[in-house]
Structure 1
């Protein structure tokens, strides 16, 4: 379903990590197509990964945050509908990585946009615009980092404190 790796953390580099790289015990990543179905695929990946790490109790909050981060990446991070004739390596890339660290779980989503994520003004009557407010409410911390060099885009991450 995914891979065992730390490509997003490698892309960020050690000075920009939201956690100490020596505390990483497990990591799993999945590449997602720039399609709405990827939100469900990301939640399913999170469920399976957290279960394998015996972190089932974290799933509800992580699933909500994963859904919001992937939805934001789809809405604001990739161009709408890439034509089928565009080669796979040239298509926009979305990636979800879950990283288990000492007493922390990091959820990171990579997208090709260099635009900073900005929480919208909270409007209780609006149909959308509350995603980053939910991320802030359900995670213990969140942030973003631009990618540099050949790696274009950004990574938006959220941290959850764990008992392990």
Structure 2
């Protein structure tokens, strides 16, 4: 899951993860509020409460996109394990928010197809369709990758650089 985070950044040693937390989210839009509450509690526990506004906005957008675009139409009526999962991981100097969902399609593939489209409304005047623009604006970088092996779907992640004491 971490390999795409290495692109264009100094190496991230998975063994040096200082802290991580994750939660399952049900296939209901009320889960977005739960994701924000989970993020607030987790960041508070990591003494990163000052980053809550930006991180919470990005988490909200990633979870909303997963619920809106990545779930089968009947997902709310199925009694399976929650299909969306939020992961928060902290390294010295970095925080990563990752949302796993069951769809193999690229985020930002508007209207189907394999190639990501440009943001649907580059001027930002539409009522919807600005989620990835916000993720891009508020995080230091973001991306996605398909899951492999027994897991199906994808992970969409956003990286936030953290100030390190003494630097």
TM-score for the superposition, normalised by structure 1: 0.84
C-alpha RMSD over aligned residues: 1.7
90, 96, 99: which one aligns with 1:106: 96
Aligned to 2:112: none
1:8-37 Cα deviation digits (max 9, x unpaired):
xxxx2x644443313311000000001000
Q: Distance in 1 between matches of 2:65 and 2:40?
A: 20
Residue 35 of structure 2 is aligned with which of 42, 58, 63? 42
In structure 2, the gaps of 5 or more residues are: 7-11, 109-117
Question: Measured at CA, do residues 140 and 83 of structure 1 come closer, stay the same or move farther in structure 2, by a change above 3 Å?
Answer: closer
Measured after TM superposition, the shift of residue 105 of structure 1 is: 0.4
Query: What residue number does 2:18 align with?
Result: 25
Whole-angstrom distance in 2 between the partners of 1:44 and 1:83: 21
Moved over 4 A (4+): none
Distance in 1 (alpha carbons) for counterparts of 2:65 and 2:103:
11
Following the alignment from structure 2 to structure 1, what is the Cα–Cα distance between the partners of residues 68 and 152? 17
Give matches, 1:15-164, under 5 Å.
Answer: 15-18=3-6, 19-82=12-75, 84=77, 86-89=78-81, 93-118=83-108, 120-121=119-120, 122-164=122-164
Q: Which runs of 5+ in 1 are unaligned?
A: 1-11
Structure (1/2) with the larger helix percentage: 1
Q: Secondary structure of the equivalent of 1:88? A: coil
Aligned length: 149
Q: Distance in 2 between matches of 1:125 and 1:163?
A: 33
